[in-house]
Chains A and B, each alone.
Chain A
Amino acid sequence: MSATAGARTVPETHCADSEWRPKIVALVCNWCTYTGADMAGTARRTYAPYVRVVRLLCSGRIDPLLILQAFEQGADAVLVSGCHPGDCHYVQGNLYARRRLTVFESLLDFVGLDQRRLHYAWVSASEAVKWSHLVDEVTAKVREAGPLGKWARPAMEAWQPPFELPEPGPEPRPKPGDAESAAITGHLRELAATLLDSEQVKLVIGHTPGSLPGQMVPAFVRSGQETGVLAWNDRCAGNLAVYLPEMVKQAGGRVAVVVKSCDARAVAGLLRENQVRPEDAVLLGVECAGIWHEDRLAARCHSCAEAVSPLADWTLTASGAVEGSVPPQTERATGPDPRSAQLAVLEARPAAERWEFWQREFDRCIRCYACRAVCPLCYCQTCIAEKHSPQWISTAIEGPGNLAWNVTRAMHLAGRCIDCDECARACPADIRLDLLNRAVAGEIADRFGYQTGSDPGLPAPLTTFHPDDPDGFQ
C-alpha cells in the first residue's frame, strides 16, 4: 500500500556532505520560550543548530496534531516548550496543555514511538541558558535514536508479533436464559406503549431482530401499536445513545432510549457536553447481564458490576418495570477485565515491538470511519478528518494518515470514552481500538484519578486542570 512512498522527503539543501543531521521541530510559546531562545541568540550562546522553531501564542494552543504533522513531514524529534506553571500569559493555557500533552505523550509511547523523539519543557523568557542546554540534551538523545526514517511506513508482511495477547479468561457469570430475556422484552414493550400512548415521549429507540440469524439492530418506534417489534436479549450490543441528539431534534420532543449501563454512560457524556438536555431523554435501563458474542462474554462485561445504570429513569427486569434506577439486591459476579491482561503484555514489550504491532493494526485500516460513526461521543458536525485546509489528516489510506487518524480519534476521546467498545465491534478490520482507548483511560485514571462514569456534573479531565497536576516536563 505504499503508493506514495518516498514522496515526503524534504531535500536537505543546507548539507554539503551526506552526514545525517537531526531535524528537531520546536513548538514554543511566544511569551516565554521563544523570547528565551532569542535571548540565547543575542547572548551569543553556542548550542546545537538543529532546531527549527515554530512560534505559537501559547503552549495551550499546541494541538497534538501539530506534533504528528511534524513527524509526518520529516522531523526526527519534536520539542514542545512553554511558560512555567503559574507564569502563563493567559493565566492557565499551559495548565491545560500540561494535561493534554502528557496524555498524548503516553498514547504515543503506547503505540511505540521512541520516547527520545518527543520532549516537553518549561523555559521562561529569561532562561536562555536552560534553552541552550535543553537543545543540546535533546540533540544528544535524537542522535542516539538515529534518523526517524519513514514515518508510519506500511507494516512488513513477514513481521509476526513475538508475543501473544492472552485470551480472555472464563466468564464470571453464565449466559442469561431466554426466559429472562423474554420477560424483559414483554415489560419493555408494555412500558414503551404506555410512554408513547400517554405522550410522555415521542419516540422510543430500542433493539429489534435484524435479518441475519441472532442479529439485533436498532429500532425506532413512534406509536404504542408498534412496540411489538422491540426486543431485549444478550445480543443487543449496539449503543443506541449514538442516535439520541439527532433523534431529539427530529422528534421535536422527549425521546426514550433503551440503555445498558455502558450506553447510559454515553448519555451522561452527551449531557456533560451539552449535546442533549436532561429533560429530552428518558432512559429505559435494562438489567443487563452482559453482551454475548456467540458463546463469549464481551470483554468489557467481565468486570462490569453495574447491572442497571444509576442514571436510569426506568428499570426493566424480568419481574417488571419500575420507575427510577433500582439495582438488583444481590451483587453480581465479576472477573478481571481481559483487556487489562492484554494491555499488560503489550506495555511490557519494547517500544519498537509495540510500534510494529500498531503499524500492522493500522495498516488494515480502510478509513471507513465506522469507529467514528458508531461512537456516541463522536458528534462533531465536521470531524477533524474532514478539515481540508490545511489537511490535518491525510486522506490517503496508508501509513501516515492511518496512524494520524487512529491516534487522533483515541486522543479526542481521551477522558470522554465511556468504554462501550462499539468502535472495536464495528471495525471491519478488527483493529484493537478497545486497547487504544483503555490505554488512554488507564493513563488518565493514574494521573488525574478520573474515571469516565455516570456523573454528568463532573467535567471531562482534559477540559480542566489542577495546579498540582503531575508534571513530567523538563
Chain B
Amino acid sequence: MTGAGWRLSAAEVKEWMEWLLAGGRRVVAPAGDGGLVLFRQVSSAGEVRLEGSAHARWSPKEFLFPRTETLMSYTFDDSNSIRLAPPRPAEMEQVLFGVQPCDAAGLMRLDDVFLGDGDGDQLYADRRRRTAVVSLACAVARPECFCTAVGGAPDGTDGSDAQLLPAPDGYLLRALTPKGRELLGGLDSGWQVTTDKDWAQARAQAERVATEIGRSPLPGDLPGRLIGAFGLPIWSTLAERCLGCGICAYVCPSCSCFDITDQANAYCGTRCRSWDTCTLAGFTRHASGHNPRPDQPSRFRQRVLHKFAYFPLESEGRLMCVGCGRCVALCPVGMDIRSAVDNTATEVST
C-alpha cells in the first residue's frame, strides 16, 4: 500500500476521530491527565493531543494487557459450595490512536508472548482481535530514543493498521492492513490523494529524525554473544545505582510479566492478573524465602538479557526492546539500558 494514501488537514483528522467515536468504538489516544499526557479513552477528538509528536508518559500496552484484570471470580453460597464466574466478556472494538511507531512495535512483542504460535491467552486474544492501531510517525527525536538500533524507524509500520505521518500542513495517512482500511469507513473518498512527492517528503523527514537519533542497528549476532556475559562481573558495576523499583518495566511497551493473586474475603473473591516485574526483589522470591536472584545486579542482568539475549534467541532474533527510551528517560537514577547493552557487548568480546 505504500505510496498510496491521503492528505488530511488537522481538522479532517479530528473529523475522522469523531466518526470513529460515533461508530461506537472505544478510542484510546494521548490526552492530558493531571498535567501529563497519557493514553486514555477519549470521548471527543478535542481531548486528543497529537501536536508535534504525541509522546505519552507510558505506552498504551495497558489497553491490551491491563494493569490488573480479572481471570475469574468466585462466591461461596449458603450451602458453602463455590460458584465460579468467568471474567467479563471482551470489551467493544477499540482503536489505539496516535501511537508512536515504537509503541506499535511493542504491541507485537506482547503478541509474541500472549498469543505465541497456538491459541495463546484467551483474554488477550479476544482483546487483540478487537483492537486496531493507528500510529503516528515521529517528527522529533528525543535524547532517549533508540528505535533505529533495535529494528525500528521513526516511520516504522510494525504493528500498525494505519499510519499518520506529520506533513507541513497536516498529516499523510496510509492504510497498512485490511483492518486499517476498514477504519477509514469510506471517508477517504472525500480526502485528497497523496502524490509521490508527499511520500518523498515524509520519507526525508523520517530519515532526518533517524539521523538525529544517530544509532545504527545492533549486530545480529548480539544475542548469542550476550549470553556469554551472564557470569561476568560487569553487572555489579552496571547495576550499582539501581534502586530496584519497577518504573522501567511498567512504562515499557514490551515488558509483559505479571503476578496472579486472589483478592478475596470470607464471601467472595476474584483472581487477578496484575503487572509485575523482574526488577522488584519479590519477583523471584520463593515461599521458602530463598531468592535465586538475590541482589539488584542479578535482577538488572535478567532485564537486559531477557530483552537482548534470551527472548531473541527463542524468537527468530526479535529483540524484546523497541527503543522508545522511556526506561532511560524516567529512571530516577539514570540507568541507561543502551549503554548497559553496549558495555556488556564490549566486555564480552574482550
A429 contacts B36, C-beta separation under 8 Å:
yes
**Residue in A1, A238, A428 whose CB lies within 8 Å of B247:** A428
Contact segment of A193-201, A205-213, A326-334, A345-353 = A205-213
**A373–B246 Cα gap in the complex (Å)?**
9
B280 adjacent to chain A (CB < 8 Å): yes
Nearest A-chain residue to B262, judged by Cβ: A391
Contact B272 A3 (CB under 8 A): yes
B68 touches A398 (CB 8 A): yes
Q: Which of B70, B246, B268 contacts A369 (CB 8 A)?
A: B246
- Are A396 and B263 touching (Cβ within 8 A)? yes
Q: Is A15 an interface residue (CB 8 A)?
A: no
Which residues of the other chain, B, contact A9 by a CB distance below 8 angstroms?
268
Q: Contacts A7-B269, A368-B247 given; indicate if A212 touches B328 (C-beta within 8 A).
A: yes
Q: Is the CB of B338 within 8 A of A370?
A: no
Are A213 and B143 closer than 8 Å at their CB atoms? yes
A215 to B265, CA, bound (A): 47
Interface-located stretch among A79-87, A311-319, A358-366: A358-366
Query: Whose C-beta in chain B lies nearest to the C-beta of A72?
Result: B265
Q: Is A464 engaged at the interface, CB distance under 8 Å to the other chain? A: no
A interface residues, tally (CB under 8 Å): 50
Quick one: CB contact mask for A59-74 with B, threshold 8 Å, 1 for yes? 0000000000000010
Whether the Cβ atoms of A366 and B275 lie closer than 8 Å is: yes
* Cβ-defined partner of A212 (8 Å) among B36, B69, B78, B334: B334
- Interface membership of A19, Cβ < 8 A: no
**Which residues 73-92 of B sit at the A interface, judged by CB distance below 8 A?**
73, 75, 78, 87-88
Q: Which residues of A contact B334 (CB under 8 A)?
A: 210-212, 215-218
B243:A368 contact, CB within 8 angstroms:
no
The yes or no answer to A426 lying at the interface (CB within 8 A) is yes
Q: Please tell me if the beta carbons of B67 and A397 are within 8 angstroms of each other in the complex.
A: yes
Say which residue of A3, A8, A217, A391 sits within 8 Å of B333 (CB atoms): A217
A window 335-360: CB within 8 A of B: 360
Per the 8 Å Cβ criterion, residues 363-398 of A in contact with B are 364, 366-370, 372-374, 386, 388, 391, 394-398
B329 contacts chain A at the CB level, 8 A cutoff: yes
Contact A220–B240 (Cβ < 8 Å): yes
Interface residue total, chain B, C-beta cutoff 8 A: 56
- 0/1 string, B183-218, CB within 8 A of A gives 1: 000000000000000000000000000000000000
Report whether B35 and A370 are in contact in the complex, using a CB–CB cutoff of 8 Å. Answer: no
Interface SS of A by simple majority: loop
CB of B333 within 8 A of CB of A361, answer: no
A220: shortest Cβ distance to chain B, in Å?
Answer: 6
Q: Check B268–A7 contact: CB distance below 8 A.
A: yes
Q: A366-B58, A425-B332 are in contact. Are A10 and B68 (CB under 8 A)?
A: no
Q: Output the least CB separation between A241 and chain B (Å).
A: 12
Q: A373 with B244: in contact, given A396-B274, A428-B250 (CB under 8 Å)?
A: yes
Task: Write out the residue numbers on chain B whose beta carbons fall within 8 Å of the beta carbon of A4.
Answer: 68, 70, 73, 263, 270, 272
Among the listed A73, A212, A217, A238, which residue makes an inter-chain contact with B329, where contact means beta carbons less than 8 Å apart? A212
In the complex, the chain A residue whose C-beta lies closest to that of B143 is: A212
Encoded as 1 (CB less than 8 Å from any B CB) or 0, chain A from 4 to 43 comes to 1001111101000000000000000000000000000000
Contact A360 B247 (CB under 8 A): no
How far apart sit A135 and B5, CA to CA, in the bound complex (Å)?
A: 71
Cα(A71)–Cα(B269), bound, Å: 16
**Is B33 an interface residue, CB under 8 A from the partner?**
yes
* Residue pair A369, B66 in contact (C-beta under 8 Å): no
List B286-304 residues whose CB lies under 8 Å from chain A.
none
Which chain B residue shows the least CB distance to A361? B34
Tell me how far the C-beta of A335 lies from the nearest C-beta in chain B, rounded to whole angstroms: 22
Which residue of chain A is the closest to B40 with respect to CB atoms? A157
Q: Which residue of B lies closest to A238 (CB)?
A: B333
B251 within 8 A of A: yes
Interface presence of B259 (CB below 8 A): yes
Chain B positions 207 through 233: 1 when the CB is less than 8 Å from some CB of chain A, otherwise 0: 000000000000000000000000000
CB distance from B168 to the nearest CB of A (A): 28
A422 at the interface (CB under 8 A from B): yes
B57: interface (CB < 8 Å): yes
Query: Please, could you name 28 A-B residue pairs with CB atoms under 8 Å apart, sorted by A?
Result: A3-B87, A4-B73, A4-B263, A4-B270, A7-B270, A10-B265, A10-B266, A157-B41, A158-B43, A211-B328, A211-B338, A212-B143, A212-B144, A217-B333, A361-B34, A366-B58, A366-B275, A367-B275, A368-B247, A368-B250, A369-B245, A369-B246, A391-B261, A394-B261, A395-B261, A396-B261, A425-B332, A428-B251
15 more contacts with CB within 8 A, not counting A238-B333, A367-B250, A391-B263, are: A7-B270, A8-B265, A10-B268, A212-B143, A360-B34, A366-B58, A366-B251, A366-B275, A368-B245, A368-B277, A388-B261, A396-B274, A397-B275, A428-B330, A430-B36
- B: residues with CB less than 8 A from A are 33-36, 38, 40-41, 43, 57-58, 66-70, 73, 75, 78, 87-88, 143-144, 240-241, 243-247, 249-251, 259, 261, 263, 265-270, 272, 274-275, 277, 280, 282, 328-330, 332-334, 336, 338-339
